[in-house]
Structures are given as C-alpha cells and as structure tokens.
Amino acid sequence: MGLVTDISWGPLDDGDPNTSGKRRKEPVEPLECSECHALMPQGKRVCAECGHEFKATSKVCVEDGELVEIRAKGTLADKQAWYSQLLGLAEERGYKPGWVAHTYRDRFGIWPRGLAEIANDPGTVVRKWVRHRFIAHAKARLGKEAA
C-alpha cells in the first residue's frame, strides 16, 4: 500500500546479479493517521487532513550500568600462537616479515608488539584463515578492475 505519487518506474531486471554494488531501497510505507485514518508520507508530524500532531516515539532503551573497555580478540597466548604460526607460514612460503605483521593486524586489529619471534608449523585454522583472506583480497581486486 502506498501513495499514488510513490509509483516509480525503474529499469527492468536483466537477470545479471546486482553489479552496481548498490542495494535497492525498499519502498517506504506511508503512515496512517490514528484520528482520521488518512494516509500521509513518512516524516510528516502533522496530518494534512485533520491536523492531528504525532508524538515521536523512541526505540532507544536506556539502562543503568557500568561501561567497560572491550579488548582486542583473543588472549595473549592465542595471539602468540597465531603470530608464531604466521611466522612459520611466512618462512614456508618465502614471505617478508611485513606480511606477517600486516596479516596479524588484519586478524587482531593491532600490531604484533611484544611477541616472541618463534616460528611454529602453521595449523589448519591459520592456513584456512589466510586462504580466506587471499580469496577476499582477490575478489576485491577483481571488483575494482571491473569498475
């Protein structure tokens, strides 16, 4: 249901996936006046038919509590294990130390400071995560080249 003025004629679907990267907006439903039941566009606070004024309602819930700092993902032991496995993977594949630091930062959101430079054999989880990041990077590059 909507207003007559809301009718728009967009381009026909050619069957290709949404290549523009933009999501299509869903049509906004009109509001119904609680007094006279007239339809009016979203965003209006006063009904054009009867003059009824709408009061704003908030969906924000306020509660008492204590704010706490959210720390980066993982414990220090987890971070050291990942860093060591990334070092092992870099040695195995001939990557530079900068790759290890950037990959670690991509995973944890912080640079690998204060961790021991001990290389370990990379486990399945680390290998799969690195492969996932390579695939995501390649897809992003393909998208930029097409544009």
H runs (alpha helix) in 72-120: 76-93, 97-108
Residue 118 has pLDDT above 90, yes or no: yes
Q: How confident is the model at residue 133 (pLDDT cuts 50, 70, 90)?
A: very high
Average pLDDT over residues 63-72: 76
Residues 6 or more apart in contact with residue 106 via CB below 8 angstroms: 133
Cross-strand bridge partners of residue 31: 40
Averaged pLDDT score across all residues of the chain:
82
The answer to whether the pTM exceeds 0.85 is: no
pLDDT at 54: 76
Asked if 60 and 74 count as a contact pair (C-beta separation under 8 A), the reply is no
Residues 6 or more apart in contact with residue 28 via CB below 8 angstroms: 6, 41, 42
pLDDT at 111: 92
Query: Of 115, 141, 105, 103, whose CA–CA distance to 95 is shortest?
Result: 103
Residue 72 has pLDDT above 60, yes or no: no
Calpha distance 147→21 (Å, rounded): 10
